[in-house]
């Protein structure tokens, strides 16, 4: 059966086609308070490009043994040369396949939510009366219950957190709470540096795109923007604006606890961690097993790797993107 995104790509010759965005996500039908009204075509384009990148990554893994440049790319981003650990291949393939599968078939069970701004979250205080699953004040034995009194491990753990202090945010669209660092009554997207956030631990799954912030980034407009063959460009100059959503999809399908953004987002950190993981600070409970092992769980490494391979193929396999600069093979 043709995938949702394949159908979408053919929309130029089909007069009526369902939106992949609508099929894959729930979203408020409004243009404020986190809604994406009027942005369906843009999100659809980003979903199509995300599938293109996931497929590029899977093709690159398949080409590893037969293409020297692909081996250099894979080694640069995942540290494969240093370890010879085939487990990394399994992790990379599994993560890419999960993203591709979601884009073709969606998730089983309830759809995840997608918001185009963080204003869908309402800042609350622990002393506030808790809301139940219907959005009504929570009553137990006829008495109102505050958030700090809710008998739920997720609530109590957040209430006791000190580093950083956690505060509750109510999500009216789903009648549930998220717990996150206090942004003093503002929203996550209020900071121009914030591009997106994904959570999978609150009883529902959600992706929040700071759409206005993403549109102001220097990333190229689309994946097909012609930048191939321009020597010396930083690899990030080839990133499309859809790269942010592509990154978040790894958090969404594999779980935020299994896809930590370590060592970060900068190429220098990615390259360093691929060869010297011990030089990058990591939580004590996480033991860096091998060079590149945790790179295979960081969504940003997949962005680097998949964009690099996509541009390599688009150039007729004449350019390599294994370092922070593009160059001829």
Q: Could you read off the pLDDT of 267-309 as tens digits, one per residue?
A: 666 666 555 555 544 444 445 444 456 678 888 889 989 999 9
Whether residue 172 is found in the same domain as residue 225: no
- At 238 the pLDDT is 85
* pLDDT of 43 strictly over 90: yes
Q: pTM of the prediction?
A: 0.84
Give dist(CA 203, CA 201) in Å, integer.
6
* Distant-in-sequence, close-in-space partners of 78: CB < 8 Å, separation ≥ 6: 88, 92, 274, 292, 295, 296, 301, 305
Query: Does 155 lie in the same domain as 75?
Result: no
Contact indicator for 111, 155 with CB cutoff of 8 Å: no
Look at residues 186, 204, 233 and tell me which one is the last residue of a structural domain.
186
Question: Residue 81 — very low, low, confident or very high, per pLDDT cuts 50/70/90?
Answer: low
Residues 305 and 160 grouped into a single domain: no
* Percentage helix, strand, coil for the chain under 3-state DSSP, each rounded to 5: 45, 15, 45
Q: What is the pLDDT of residue 257?
A: 64
| Sequential DSSP letters for 226-278 | S-TT-TT-BGGGG-BTTHHHHHHHHHHHH-GGGS---S-SSHHHHHHHHH-GG
* Residue 144 and residue 9 in one domain: no
pLDDT band at 7 (very low <50, low <70, confident <90, very high): very low
Q: Domain limits at 304?
A: 4-118+190-328
Q: What is the pLDDT of residues 144-160, one digit of tens each?
A: 999 988 888 888 888 88
φ/ψ (deg, to 5) at 130: -70, 155
Give the domain CATH number at 285. 3.40.390.10
- Residues near 80 by beta carbon (within 8 Å), at least 6 away in sequence: 71, 74, 88, 89, 292
Tally of domains in the chain: 2
Q: Which of 114, 1, 127 is closest to 50 using CA atoms?
A: 114
CB atoms within 10 A of CB 327: 12
């Amino acid at each position: 059966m043709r995938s949702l995104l394949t159908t979408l790509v053919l929309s130029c010759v089909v007069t009526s086609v369902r939106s992949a965005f609508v099929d894959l996500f729930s979203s408020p039908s409004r243009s404020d308070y986190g809604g994406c009204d009027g942005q369906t075509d843009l999100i659809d384009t980003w979903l199509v490009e995300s599938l293109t990148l996931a497929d590029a990554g899977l093709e690159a893994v398949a080409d590893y043994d037969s293409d020297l440049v692909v081996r250099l790319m894979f080694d640069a981003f995942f540290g494969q040369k240093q370890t010879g650990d085939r487990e990394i291949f399994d992790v990379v393939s599994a993560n890419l396949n999960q993203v591709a599968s979601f884009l073709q078939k969606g998730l089983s069970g309830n759809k995840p939510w997608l918001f185009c701004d963080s204003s869908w979250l309402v800042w609350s205080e622990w002393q506030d009366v808790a809301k139940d699953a219907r959005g009504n004040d929570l009553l137990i034995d006829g008495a109102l219950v505050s958030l700090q009194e809710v008998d739920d491990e997720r609530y109590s753990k957040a209430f006791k957190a000190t580093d950083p202090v956690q505060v509750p945010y109510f999500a009216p669209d789903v009648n549930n709470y998220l717990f996150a660092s206090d942004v003093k009554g503002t929203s996550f997207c209020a900071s121009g540096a914030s591009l997106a956030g994904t959570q999978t631990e609150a009883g529902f799954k959600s992706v929040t795109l700071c759409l206005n912030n993403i549109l102001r980034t220097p990333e190229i407009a689309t994946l097909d923007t012609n930048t191939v063959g321009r020597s010396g460009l930083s690899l990030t100059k080839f990133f499309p604006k859809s790269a942010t959503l592509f990154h978040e999809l790894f958090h969404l399908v594999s779980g935020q606890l299994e896809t930590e953004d370590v060592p970060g987002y900068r190429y220098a950190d990615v390259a360093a961690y691929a060869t010297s993981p011990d030089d990058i600070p990591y939580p004590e409970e996480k033991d860096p097993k091998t060079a590149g092992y945790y790179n295979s769980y960081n969504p940003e490494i997949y962005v680097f790797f998949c964009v690099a391979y996509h541009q390599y193929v688009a150039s007729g396999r004449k350019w390599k993107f294994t370092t922070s600069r593009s160059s001829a093979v």
